[in-house]
Amino acid sequence: MNSDNLIKANNLLRKKLTSENQKYYEDLLTYIRGKSTFNREKDVEQLLLEILHDLIDAQNNGQNAEDYFGKNPQTLADEILQTLPKSFFETFKLACYILIGYVLLFATPNIVLPTSNLDFGKLIILGTISFVFSLVVLWLIGQETYQKNKLMHSVGLALGGRS
């Protein structure tokens, strides 16, 4: 099963959770996805689906997510992330997507206008900066999930996080 199918299955199965368990799981999911930038997407999504199946089984047996997984989901998520292998290829692929997207977005006006100059060096440097910025945003989204600090929570919300 590819990553897209795993995500679709995850989205469908999440509807079976109670609202309390769904909040717990979605926070866990957001944290893991935000922190798993250097892991293979398929591995992460398979793991999240396994966790969801375990949670649904526990819920069917009368347990809630806190009783089953514990009261500190951030620690659980960090332990889970340590077990996943790092993938240079996935990181490289993400960098290429961001770089190509940046180049297409900002080179198009230069290509359309014949009198403007196209500086590939500048595009590559700024594309690389965009990649680093994207990694920081993903890291902040992951950090914001279990953040108690109101300043970090506000920064996460400003960058598009949830309330």
Q: Going by C-beta distance under 8 Å and a sequence separation of 6 or more, which residues neighbour residue 141?
A: 30, 34, 156, 159, 160, 161
Integer Cα distance of 37 and 91 in angstroms: 7
Phi, psi of 115 (to 5 degrees): -90, -10
Cβ proximity of 13 and 53 under 8 Å: yes
Locus of tokens 């910025």? 133
Burial class (CB in 10 A: 0-12, 13-18, 19+), 58: middle
pLDDT at 74: 85
- Please indicate whether residue 60 or residue 142 has the higher confidence score (pLDDT): 60
118-159 pLDDT, tens digit each: 777 877 788 788 878 887 887 777 667 666 655 555 555 565
Integer Cα distance of 29 and 23 in angstroms: 10
Domains of the chain: 3-83 (1.10.1900), 88-158 (no CATH)
- Please indicate whether residue 81 or residue 114 has the higher confidence score (pLDDT): 81
Cβ proximity of 31 and 146 under 8 Å: yes
- Please indicate whether residue 128 or residue 13 has the higher confidence score (pLDDT): 13
16-58 pLDDT, tens digit each: 999 999 999 998 888 888 888 778 888 889 999 999 999 999 9
Band of pLDDT at residue 59, cut at 50, 70 and 90: very high
- Please indicate whether residue 76 or residue 108 has the higher confidence score (pLDDT): 76
Please compute the mean of the pLDDT values over residues 103-132 and round it to a whole number. Answer: 77
